[in-house]
Amino acid sequence: MPELPDITVYIEALRERILGAKLESTRITHPFLLRTFDPPISLLYGRRVIDLRRVGKRVAIGFEGDQWLMLHLMIAGRLHWFPAGATKTGRAALAYFVFDTGTLTLTEAGSKRRASLWVFGSSKQLSEQDPGGLEILEAPYEEFRNRLLAENHTLKRSLTDPKTFSGIGNAYSDEILHRARLSPVTLTQKLDEPAVRRLYDAIREVLPEWIERLQKDAGQDFPQGVTAFRPEMAVHGRFGKPCPTCGAPVQRIRYADNETNYCPKCQTGGRILADRSLSRLLKDDWPRTIDELG
């Protein structure tokens, strides 16, 4: 799922292309993409874009008259841009947004349709869609600390809870925890003050670093190849590969459609965290330390 760095770069690219542009028409090809009916999307036709915002992991486009279009890409949704006059608009899309400067399309890989689109008649309605997570890159340390310690959850859960922190998901939480040298299963209220500070600093290092990296990758082009798995990442999606810090093999905890990646040497004192399904299967043969991986 595109997270804060990816959404930030998407919005920057859109700002260059559609801020001040007029929406001429739209075409929705999947019946369940549009989740609202009042106001109708046709109300936006002929209106100019006057604002773009990130709402958690969502892209919000503001039009004249305080009208808003909000896109949630979910796991596999991606945006694409085609300048005015382009003869092709790429692969079949779930939605086409035709501006006087070009066409924005929304595609979604796979057969599951999770991406969604809303139209709101006021910024108040838009703000009600914000889960309320703290904007960590803008928050002072004490505000971050209070939010983190308000409830007792694992660090992985706290970082990825949109009601706690805004814009952080599965991929960047792995990278942040590796940078902070903290286990994903450590409970928040068990952290000492130096650990809380390391986590705060790691978030404010990792996210801007990736924004800058993605900006550089895109250059003057619209962002392409947006993915949660990048070879430059330290641990996320790198199971079995050497940690760039210590060389130990990266480990994982798998659950549902996601997995958490971590370095046992850097983050868990050499302990291998139990993978629910695999550790049950292996029982006594499940390695408990990095040395037992042999």
One domain for residues 209 and 285: yes
Q: Is residue 34 part of a domain?
A: yes
Q: What is the DSSP string of 35-60?
A: ---SS-GGGGTTPBEEEEEEETTEEE
Amino acid identity for residue 252 in this structure? R
Of residues 109 and 154, the one with the higher pLDDT is 154
Q: Is residue 190 part of a domain?
A: yes
* 166: CATH: 1.10.8.50
Q: Which residues make beta-bridge pairs with 77?
A: 108
* Number of domains, the chain: 2
Confidence check: pLDDT of 255 > 90: no
One domain for residues 288 and 151: yes
pLDDT in tens, 178-212: 999 999 999 999 999 999 999 999 999 999 999 99
Q: Is residue 132 part of a domain?
A: no
Two tokens at 20?
């001040």
Q: Is residue 72 part of a domain?
A: yes
Q: Is residue 78 part of a domain?
A: yes
One domain for residues 287 and 158: yes
Q: Is residue 133 part of a domain?
A: no
Choose one of 93, 127, 161: the last residue of a domain.
127
Q: Is residue 135 part of a domain?
A: no
- Number of residues in the chain: 294
Closest listed residue to residue 164, CA positions, set 176, 151, 177: 151
pLDDT in tens, 13-37: 999 999 999 999 999 998 889 999 9
Q: Is residue 136 part of a domain?
A: no
pLDDT in tens, 265-280: 999 999 999 865 544 4
As a whole number of angstroms, the distance between CA 94 and CA 73 comes to 11
